[in-house]
Chains A and B, each alone.
Chain A
Amino acid sequence: MTTVTPVPTGTPIEDRRTVNLRIETTRPQPSDALTPASMPVLRMESLSVYYGSFRAVRDITLDVRTNAITAIIGPSGCGKSTLLRALNRMNDLVPGARVTGKVLYHGEDLYGPRVDAVEVRRRIGMVFQKPNPFPKSIYDNVAFGPRVNGLRVDMDALVESSLRRAALWDEVKDKLKQSGMALSGGQQQRLCIARAIAVEPDVILMDEPCSALDPRATLQIEELMMELKRNYTIVIVTHNMQQAARASEETVFLTMGEERAGHMVEKGPTSEIFTNPKNQLTEDYVSGRFG
């Protein structure tokens, strides 16, 4: 008999990090000694991701800044999405995918023994490249996560607050029963963001969330991200360098070598990366000379 520790909605971030990731109740809660204040929400230590024998991402060591937007940029095929999907164990769904190294979430290794990937994913939510609302009503799209996680809350209020935080409420409040598929692309993506934040994650991973959207919808999503970073830690993969420059505090530049394994070239404050990069490869990439 296992029980899952539920996270009540609206829990402050400081409390959320002490929630047990494991499906065992006997395990002691991580103490403060395990998660010192200096420990970031997410830390990668020598993280490599393999598909079968092919190493897609090589040896990434990186701290993700809390309550900030971190952009991962780099040329196509350098493993940006793969790296992102390693952060909430989405790669578990790909047959043959495996990981070496560590991803520490509040100090606890997500790939450690007995860590439940399902529990990981509800704390580290995801927004995908192509808006992928469920073929359900707008209301049910948002309520799906809280329901499958067994949250006993005022669902109407949670749906409303999630849609408000995703800056979508005013546009859909009169048609909550209509299908989420009937919305425009930009609205669908904001619906997907509302769906992701309805389970109160503390990290949101975004995999090129604007690549299927027009410039206006892109701007709306970016404004939304700026708004959300006050409560969430956001990691975004983007092809769009203006987007990285506009909307992120931290930038990580990946590229790939001869053997096609993506590796990290440089990381730092976005302004540094774009105006004063230390590495020639970074400079070539951000100035548009390659990639």
Chain B
Amino acid sequence: MSSTAVAAQVRRASLKGSGVDVRGAVFQGLLALALLFSLTVLIVLLVDVLLRGLPVFAARGADFLTSEVVSQPSQAGVVQGIQGSILIVLIVTVTAIPIGLMTAIYLEEYAPDNRLTRFISVNIRNLAGVPSIVYGLLGLALFVGVFRSLGIGPGGNGRIVFAGGLTMAALVLPIVIITAAEAVRAVPNAIREAGYGVGASKWQVTRQLVLPSAMPGILTGVVLSLSRALGETAPLILAGAVLGSYSSGDKDFVEQLFGAYTALPMIIFGWTKESAPEFRQLAAAGIIVLLAVTLLANALAVVLRNRFERSW
């Protein structure tokens, strides 16, 4: 068909139309439905947990937070879980986050762009996809093993919170590296060139221009990583966290550091396995605590990020 024929056809066509784009409307409806579905699942979960868990807080108040994991449902609490989870997050914060950040900066800013670098990058991505139970095995073999050979832990068995924390650090390390590397890569090259153009050194450009620009993205990765470290259960089972009731007795803080440990998700998991119905309520209450701790950690990171964006 010649172009003049096309033009004639176009001009003949009416400007009037139904104004209804059926396929577009159907698609939009599907999108809204998908959103509705995800929201419903989330709300059902939340309502269910709150309905089961809140009565525990109503009946016992803060007592639930300060009691130990004992076998009597009316007296059981999550204090060791809170301590353990906070310690694990701290251990991850001081190990995986600095190491991951430095790795990401090295890979993006310093490493030569060659086959070896690309091979390493691809494999860090693969590591992020390794099932968490595998990291549990690593934790058992490496960290628990090392602490056991040093004779640390309850009865020298190596099952201390550091084993769990370091296992979690290994688990989230690839996530920290990948998110931080992406954030660093997203910094426009024009910013680096501008820095070099006024005589800044590589270190100054990286430290004063690239890192601050990448920081919001880096902190998003940190939030993701810490949430993961708070929530994972499977690696802790292998890395020696206590499943079930135990008492820390009147041990002081340092003795507890090198004694038996557990974490919030471990306690929740333990309670769901019990047959008495009271334990299901306890598990729900434990979930509320876990959600609260996770939200708190995320909120802290968001506050940090906002403060950072302001000062920059």
Contacts and interface: CB of A to CB of B under 8 A. Distances in A.
Contact of B194 (A88, A123, A128): A128
A149 interface: yes
B200 A196 contact: no
Interface residues of A, number: 28
A93 B196 contact: yes
Interface in B177-232: 188, 190-201, 204, 208-209, 212-213
B193 A145 contact: no
Interface in A128-148: 128, 130, 132-136, 144-145, 148
Nearest to A141: B194
Contact of A196 (B113, B198, B209): B198
A198 B200 CA distance: 13
A93 to B, nearest CB: 6
Given A90-B193, A148-B208, A122 B198 contact: yes
B98 interface: no
Please give me the 4 A-B residue pairs with the lowest Cβ-Cβ distance, nearest first: A122-B199, A145-B198, A132-B190, A126-B197
A191 to B, nearest CB: 11
Given A135-B312, A136-B312, A121 B197 contact: yes
B198 A144 contact: yes
A227 B80 CA distance: 72
B112 interface: yes
Question: Which of B194, B197, B213 has the most chain A CB atoms inside 10 A of its CB?
Answer: B197
Contacts of B196: 90, 93, 118, 121
A123 B197 CA distance: 10
Question: Which of B192, B193, B199, B212 has the most chain A CB atoms inside 10 A of its CB?
Answer: B199
A125 B209 CA distance: 18
A195 interface: yes
B312 A144 contact: no
A118 B201 contact: yes
Interface string B148-170: 00000000000000000000000
A261 interface: no
Question: Which of A123, A135, A198 has the most chain B CB atoms inside 10 A of its CB?
Answer: A135
B194 A192 contact: yes
Nearest to B309: A135
Contacts of B199: 118-119, 121-123, 125, 145, 148-149, 199
A36 interface: no
A95 interface: yes
19 contacts: A95-B112, A118-B196, A121-B196, A121-B197, A125-B197, A125-B198, A126-B197, A127-B197, A134-B195, A135-B191, A144-B198, A145-B198, A145-B200, A148-B200, A149-B199, A192-B194, A195-B198, A198-B198, A199-B199
A189 to B, nearest CB: 12
Contacts of A122: 198-199
A165 to B, nearest CB: 15
A198 to B, nearest CB: 7
Interface in A84-125: 88, 90, 93, 95, 118-119, 121-123, 125
Contact of B193 (A132, A144, A195, A199): A132
Nearest to B201: A118
Contact of A144 (B113, B190, B200): B200
Interface in B260-312: 312
Contacts of B209: 134
Nearest to B187: A135
Contacts of A195: 194, 198
Nearest to A89: B196
